[in-house]
Structure 1
């Protein structure tokens, strides 16, 4: 829902009632992941998508129905080839979609949720979507508080605990409980949508390639920082897509910020006096991606210098160097695309090969 939050807030603030359809579970090659959402206004305006086009027509009708009745529904859409006009996913996957009516009375916490998302404050929304519980019951969980109820103190306690763990990992998905919150039971299905702060992309080196990398990083949903010790190059005017531009020695800056498994570190300086101290710090963080620009000769020289200062082989093995996939990229924009492709491959485990040369699922399982 994060990507449609702004337009639906305009509807919400105006007092409008609208339909909201959210993907809560998927099987096999479903095109969108849990949390993808589509909203339908009273004037038939549509924002968002749940399937990339396959079942949007059916979801539109379900949303209109929910707006009229006020009763939420739990829809399943799967592959169908026995009727050319049947509603189905041509890719062969299965989507479970929860459709609900939203307005200020039905979802009084939405404004507070949106404020937290804008402030990069972790917040999760838990909703009973199926089973024997109170369908549509909702609870909003922050790190230090919670509001609303799913129907019982035991269920609220269980979801508070699980939602905080999911927020820490940036996970969104369904969880199943007993009516009083018992785990390993399947009486109540609860969908937990995590609004964790966006992952960080740290771009070191205020060169022309960095502007293109910052641009594609924002497109992929990262909070982008560009850092360089040279103030004449590290300016907000040169990097308008970055969330922040920092003038500081890169290794000093990296030592003082929070880095987690979702963080991408892109080192574009290819200058030993910057790279070596920076990579000594970077390789001791839990960053999920550490990519370094340079030729193969520069890479070999860099490895030798890092070994001289005591960096272990298992640490060096974490480097994506030279940075990016082999696309024969030349321009800054093409290079940024190759880096973005490698980031996506690292996240989802793809082969990096042309799909026309591979077999099996196009959409791998969510990590």
Structure 2
């Protein structure tokens, strides 16, 4: 659902229906909370099943746009008489006109504030609250509940050839990229991310990931130590084996312990991705973020 919010906000006032996967059992390709938006002009964004029932969902959304009445659809295995899921799962899909509470939630998410959206499937009652401790979507009794946390930050230390590809990938994967770069000429080359001159300008926490792309000890060591101190979910640093050995020595001198150093991913990037150009390295780092559970 989160991925639908930017265009919903950009096209406010244009008639649209949103289809949301509110429940599933058995095998199904996409998680609860997945959404598709269908505008009156025929624009469609998103998927519900990855292909099996999406054409039918679009048709239902067009009907909802015409009638103004929500519909709750159920899909199971295919039959000779209708569409279905070849994977054998069962889905429940709520299709409804875009409503004010949805846009309120979208605006909160766009501002990186925590928000919870609740829709009662029996009464149609909708509500928004502003406190949540976890992100996810589920069916709670008769209500579909979607909770959104602020995007976790990916702090990229230094502007290099890898930075912009990594920023683009991270944004697509749900991260909020922040680039730390003190050199104005290189800071000006960063696209699609907030830029700050020092690590002190970034609030680190346990949800953050820190990717150090610099090769300057005066920059690398303080950034890595700050990530260790914050307990950041991922800490990676670029460099050769020789650079890594020298960096570890400097980190020990700065007070890093054995447990901290064991968390450091260096050289940065998941092995086996292939290629070492800037884009390939960005893909390798993004893959390592996922494999580390960050």
TM-score of Structure 1 vs Structure 2, range by shorter chain: 0.7 to 0.9
* Paired position in structure 1 for 2:48: 50
Encode CA deviations 1:104-129: one digit per residue, 9 max, x unaligned.
xxx33344333323322322211112
2:242 matches 1:297: yes
* 1:298-317 equivalent positions in 2, closer than 5 A: 298-317=243-262
Q: Say whether residues 1:114 and 2:106 are aligned partners.
A: yes
Contact residue 24 and residue 97 of structure 1 kept, 8 A: yes
Aligned residues between the structures: 293
In structure 2, the residue corresponding to 1:270 is in which secondary structure? coil
Equivalents in 2 of 1:317, 1:65: separation in Å?
56
Determine which of 125, 140, 153 is the counterpart of 1:200.
153
Is the contact made by 1:329 and 1:338 (CA closer than 8 Å) also made in structure 2? no
2:276 counterpart (307, 330, 334):
330
Give the structure 1 partner of residue 195 of structure 2: 245
Deviation at 1:37, TM superposition (A): 0.8
Question: Quick one: which of 6, 18, 21 aligns to 1:20?
Answer: 18
Confirm whether residue 123 of structure 1 aligns to residue 121 of structure 2: no
Structure 2, unaligned stretches of length 5 or more?
A: none
The yes-or-no answer on 1:275 pairing with 2:226 is no
CA distance in 2, matches of 1:307, 1:285: 17
Instruction: State the alpha-carbon separation in 2 of the partners of residues 169 and 45 from structure 1.
Output: 32
Distance 1:169 1:198 in 2: 12
- Residue of structure 2 in register with 1:174 after alignment: 139
- Any stretches of 5+ residues in structure 1 without a counterpart? 143-163, 177-188, 349-367
Q: 2:29 aligns with which of 23, 31, 40?
A: 31
Q: Compute the displacement of 1:74 (Å).
A: 3.2
Q: Distance in 1 between matches of 2:205 and 2:105?
A: 25
Quickly say closer, same or farther: Cα 1:206–1:41, change in 2 above 3 A: closer
Root-mean-square deviation (CA, aligned residues, Å) is 2.7
Question: Residue 95 of structure 1 aligns with which residue?
Answer: 91
Residue 199 of structure 1 contacts residue 222 of structure 1 at CA under 8 Å; is this kept in 2? yes
Q: Distance in 2 between matches of 1:200 and 1:241?
A: 13
Provide the secondary structure at the position in 1 that maps to 2:92.
Answer: strand
